[in-house]
Amino acid sequence: MKRVLKMALLGALLASAAVSAATLQVKIDGVASGKGKLRVAVCDESSFLKKCAIGAQATAHAGSVTVDVPDVPAGTWAVMAYHDENDNQKLDRNELGIPSEGYGFSNGATAKNGPPQFKQAAVSVGATAVPVQITLRY
């Protein structure tokens, strides 16, 4: 009886977790070439512009590419994408710290002197698929 109750409780927890997660459908526009990969990071406010726990990637091709990021928990997130042309798994920068590969943020967030703030790139995620559009800047 206890085992059946534990299994039922576990099943209910898993079902509620699945309901509270969504797939982000990230459409990346302005991809310059078919070199390397497109990498997407989904970050909460504490991990924004740092190491983000959620991400996905796709093979690059010129134009637009859609990258699905499954199982994003409900909440407020910022989405970043970059074109990892040399496939070294990082956003390369020049000697001044300026990105030398294409990059972009959700909501078209930009800043004049450095990266945007979390709130500029924030998107709300619920239990259904969420479309996000990012245009790369090179």
- pTM equals 0.83
Is the distance from CB of 9 to CB of 115 less than 8 angstroms? no
Q: Is 12 inside any structural domain?
A: no
Angle at 48 (CA atoms; ends 42, 51), nearest 5 degrees? 75
Q: Is 92 inside any structural domain?
A: yes
Q: Is 130 inside any structural domain?
A: yes
Element housing 15 (H / E): helix 2-19
Q: What is the CATH number of the domain that holds 103?
A: 2.60.40
Q: Which residues of the chain have pLDDT under 50?
A: 1-18
Instruction: Please tell me the predicted confidence (pLDDT) of residue 6.
Output: 39
Q: Is 131 inside any structural domain?
A: yes
**Residue span of the structural domain in which 81 resides:** 21-135
> How many folded domains does the chain comprise?
1
Coil vs helix vs strand at 84: strand
Q: pLDDT tens digits, residue range 29-53?
A: 999 999 999 999 999 999 999 999 9
Q: Is 103 inside any structural domain?
A: yes
Q: pLDDT tens digits, residue range 73-83?
A: 999 999 999 99
